[in-house]
């Protein structure tokens, strides 16, 4: 059983005594306090969209006005569950982007709590569970997206709840937990369709355990697993058209023209994904590498294996541009978190951030490569031990742990492999957070967090640094976006500009002018962003973080950023020349 610190159940403990014991070591309250501190430091107020969430906000508006869900032609996922969740909040508190953000923050807290409970279901200490729940909140991408109505965090939270029930079913062999896990997976499916992978991972695990005679067959398990999906299938049949035909066509040539090329592309994608998930769980590496955290001396075979895997991961990470983290765009860039969706923000194919880490990203990249190699070297063989031996009879505690490991392995691998599908033509760094839970749970058992003082102090210190970084970047993101939308309001009120005359960036144009192109998108089978991109009609006026050619500054909107502790300006620009025909 190793470092799991698993305690046998005490049959003579009453439910009341168990409740008292849990209240003495709460998980929810400390995580709620951390979330409240974050909200107090960076209030989620602001009547403006962020990233793609204006698309999903329009869906909520439709539910509030008509009482029915209607897909938006610019939406990729079918987010029925999230849309009604947001509509529930808005029906109580009124429709606003602030209320929609609050609905996401609640799900983030529930997801963090579920993540902590996953650790406890693995038999690990309370301190490790609390650490992992805090790691969930402190993740820079999770924290940033929690302040939006994007689908990323709601899906992550609900899939974590589903994973918790499936883990508990492997711990207790109870069909009820399988049913609850499948119901939660259906809810995740109706946020992002990747939710189907969770019951698939559990089914694969159960079949392996059956073949290896580690569980006994029971009809209750497959029935509990499939019944919620039968209901979901019925719902799909009666729902209106879910935006079919607006996505990208599958093109297998995106992965290569031969089987070898496609295998190489998928392997590279999985290894890059592993580096990103290692970035999200980097505090665990410091606990893992702390001298007191290593209990076994490395032999020659282990050293050679680690070296070979490190070289392999480095090949796929360092060879292509930009050679080091950040490898993919959208959320994390140098330096900051949160996409800059304004024209003029990209210079020489890179985000023109006010501050840069530069060469320091090589240190972070090297640490993430080491973490990825350690995971492949140790965690995956550990997870696969359920495939290696047959045992008669029902599984004991350590065998249940092996089943949980196998489920986490299937779950994490599925979440990385699905992102390599050619149906996803553009891959962003934020997509990889869906593998955060299984990857982190498998890695946590090696970090000695909550078991030994040195590794715990090292991991918690790194977690504190990650949290501070995430909060600082979140404040910067909310501050410049707040200034941007104040500037846009000034253009419309003081300058008398109409939305059709303003280049306000992706979110502004999408919110105000995308409806003009939506009908063509729904009927033509391809999304229509307009001939100039981002639904831009005219750019007599524009807002920007930097000066632009053919524009002159006509005003500024200042904001103070914790990223650098300085006041910067969002520029209000007026076009001085003829508009470009295309962007």
Tens digit of each residue's pLDDT (9 = 90 or more) over 162-220:
999 999 999 887 899 999 999 999 999 999 999 999 999 999 999 988 888 778 888 99
Higher pLDDT, 3 or 21: 21
pLDDT at 543 (0 to 100): 97
DSSP state of 4: -
pLDDT at 388 (0 to 100): 63
pLDDT tens, position by position, 39-78: 999 999 999 999 999 999 999 999 999 999 988 888 888 8
3-class secondary structure per residue, 379-409: HHHHHHHHHCCCCCCCCCHHHHHHHHHHHHH
Question: For residue 553, what are the CA distances in angstroms to 346, 362, 492, 575, 583?
Answer: 19, 37, 16, 9, 20
173 by DSSP, 3-state: which? Answer: coil
Residue 286: its H or E element = helix 282-289
Percent share of the chain, pLDDT over 70: 89
| Nearest to 155, CA basis, from 187, 112, 109, 110 | 187
pLDDT tens, position by position, 558-581: 999 999 999 999 999 999 987 765
Residue 437: its H or E element = helix 436-444
pLDDT tens, position by position, 432-481: 999 999 999 999 988 889 888 889 999 999 999 999 999 999 999 999 99
Whether residue 23 is predicted with pLDDT greater than 60 in this model: the reply is: no
State the CB neighbour count (10 A cutoff) for residue 348: 5
140 by DSSP, 3-state: which? Answer: helix
pLDDT tens, position by position, 108-154: 999 999 999 999 999 999 999 999 999 999 999 999 999 999 999 99
pLDDT at 577 (0 to 100): 84
Beta-ladder partners of 555: 572
Domains in the chain: boundaries = 21-475, 476-575
Q: Mean pLDDT over all residues of the chain?
A: 88
pLDDT tens, position by position, 204-224: 999 988 888 778 888 999 999
Q: Is the dihedral of CA 151, 157, 161, 164 positive or negative?
A: positive
* Spatial distance between the Cα atoms of 380 and 376, rounded to a whole number of angstroms: 5
* Size of the chain in residues: 583
pLDDT tens, position by position, 316-331: 999 988 899 999 989 9
CB-side exposure of 456: number of CA atoms within 13 Å?
Answer: 12
| Nearest to 561, CA basis, from 492, 484, 506, 504 | 484
pLDDT tens, position by position, 398-435: 567 788 999 999 999 999 999 998 888 788 999 999 99
Question: For residue 288, what are the CA distances in angstroms to 85, 135, 143, 444?
Answer: 39, 15, 24, 9
| Nearest to 162, CA basis, from 131, 197, 204, 128 | 197
pLDDT at 252 (0 to 100): 73
State the CB neighbour count (10 A cutoff) for residue 19: 10
Whether residue 246 is predicted with pLDDT greater than 50 in this model: the reply is: no
- DSSP string of 488-539, one letter each residue: HHHHHHTS---GGGEE--HHHHHHHHTHHHHHHHHHHSS----TTSTT----
* Spatial distance between the Cα atoms of 442 and 407, rounded to a whole number of angstroms: 10
Are 473 and 336 spatial neighbours (Cβ–Cβ below 8 Å)?
yes
pLDDT tens, position by position, 265-309: 999 999 999 999 999 999 999 888 887 545 567 889 889 999 999
pLDDT tens, position by position, 487-527: 999 999 999 999 999 999 999 999 999 988 877 655 445 67
DSSP state of 540: S
pLDDT tens, position by position, 357-369: 999 999 999 999 9
Cβ-Cβ contacts under 8 Å for 537 (sequence gap 6 or more): 500, 501, 513, 516, 530
pLDDT tens, position by position, 361-402: 999 999 999 999 999 998 877 777 666 655 444 445 556 778
Backbone angles phi, psi at 268, to 5 degrees: -60, -40
* Spatial distance between the Cα atoms of 564 and 561, rounded to a whole number of angstroms: 7
Angle, in degrees to the nearest 10, between helices 436-444 and 259-280: 70
| Terminal-residue alpha carbon distance, the chain | 59
């Amino acid at each position: 059983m190793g470092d799991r610190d698993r305690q046998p159940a005490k049959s003579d403990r009453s439910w009341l005594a168990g409740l008292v014991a849990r209240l003495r070591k709460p998980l929810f309250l400390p995580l709620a306090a951390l979330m409240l501190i974050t909200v107090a430091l960076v209030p989620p107020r602001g009547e403006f969209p962020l990233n793609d969430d204006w698309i999903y906000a329009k869906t909520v508006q439709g539910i509030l006005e008509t009482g029915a869900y209607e897909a938006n032609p610019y939406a990729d996922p079918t987010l029925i569950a999230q849309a009604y969740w947001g509509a529930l909040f808005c029906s109580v508190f009124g429709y606003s982007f602030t209320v929609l953000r609050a609905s996401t923050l609640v799900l983030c807290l529930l997801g963090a709590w579920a993540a902590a409970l996953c650790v406890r279901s693995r038999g690990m200490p309370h301190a490790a569970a609390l650490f992992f729940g805090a790691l969930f909140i402190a993740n820079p991408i999770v924290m940033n997206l929690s302040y939006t109505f994007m689908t990323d965090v709601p899906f992550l939270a609900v899939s974590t709840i589903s994973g918790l029930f499936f883990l508990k079913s492997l711990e207790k062999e109870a069909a009820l937990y399988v049913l609850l896990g499948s119901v939660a997976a259906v809810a995740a499916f109706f946020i992002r369709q990747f939710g189907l992978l969770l019951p698939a991972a559990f089914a694969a695990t159960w079949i392996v355990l059956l073949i290896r005679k580690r569980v006994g067959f029971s009809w209750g398990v497959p029935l509990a697993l499939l019944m919620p999906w039968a209901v979901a299938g019925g719902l799909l049949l009666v729902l209106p058209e879910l935006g079919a035909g607006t996505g990208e066509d599958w093109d297998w040539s995106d992965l290569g023209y031969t089987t070898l090329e496609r295998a190489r592309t998928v392997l590279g994608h999985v290894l890059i994904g592993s580096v990103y998930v290692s970035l999200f769980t980097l505090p665990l590496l410091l606990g893992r590498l702390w001298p007191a955290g290593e209990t076994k001396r490395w032999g020659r075979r282990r050293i050679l294996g680690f070296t070979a895997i490190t070289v392999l991961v480095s090949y796929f990470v360092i060879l292509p541009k930009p050679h080091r983290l950040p490898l993919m765009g959208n959320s994390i860039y140098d330096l900051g978190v949160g996409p800059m969706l304004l024209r003029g923000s990209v210079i020489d194919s890179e985000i023109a951030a006010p501050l840069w880490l530069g060469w320091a990203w090589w240190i972070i990249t090297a640490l993430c490569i080491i973490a990825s190699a350690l995971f492949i070297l140790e965690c995956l063989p550990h997870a696969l031990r359920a495939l290696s031996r047959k045992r008669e009879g029902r599984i004991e505690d350590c065998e249940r742990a092996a089943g949980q490991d196998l489920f986490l392995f299937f779950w994490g691998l599925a979440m990385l492999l699905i992102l390599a599908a050619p149906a996803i033509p553009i891959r962003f760094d934020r997509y990889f957070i869906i593998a955060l839970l299984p990857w982190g749970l498998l890695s946590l058992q090696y970090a000695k967090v909550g078991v030994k003082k040195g590794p715990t102090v090292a991991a918690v210190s790194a977690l504190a640094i990650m949290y501070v970084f995430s909060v600082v970047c979140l404040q910067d993101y909310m501050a410049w976006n707040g200034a941007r939308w104040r500037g846009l309001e000034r253009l419309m009120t003081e300058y008398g500009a109409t939305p059709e005359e303003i280049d306000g960036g992706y979110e502004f144009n999408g919110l105000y002018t995308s409806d003009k192109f939506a009908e063509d998108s729904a009927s033509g089978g391809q999304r229509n962003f307009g001939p100039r991109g981002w639904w831009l009609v005219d750019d007599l006026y524009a807002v920007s973080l930097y000066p632009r050619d053919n524009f002159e500054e006509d005003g500024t909107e200042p904001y103070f950023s914790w990223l650098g502790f300085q006041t910067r300006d969002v520029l209000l620009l007026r076009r001085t020349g003829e508009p470009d025909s295309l962007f």
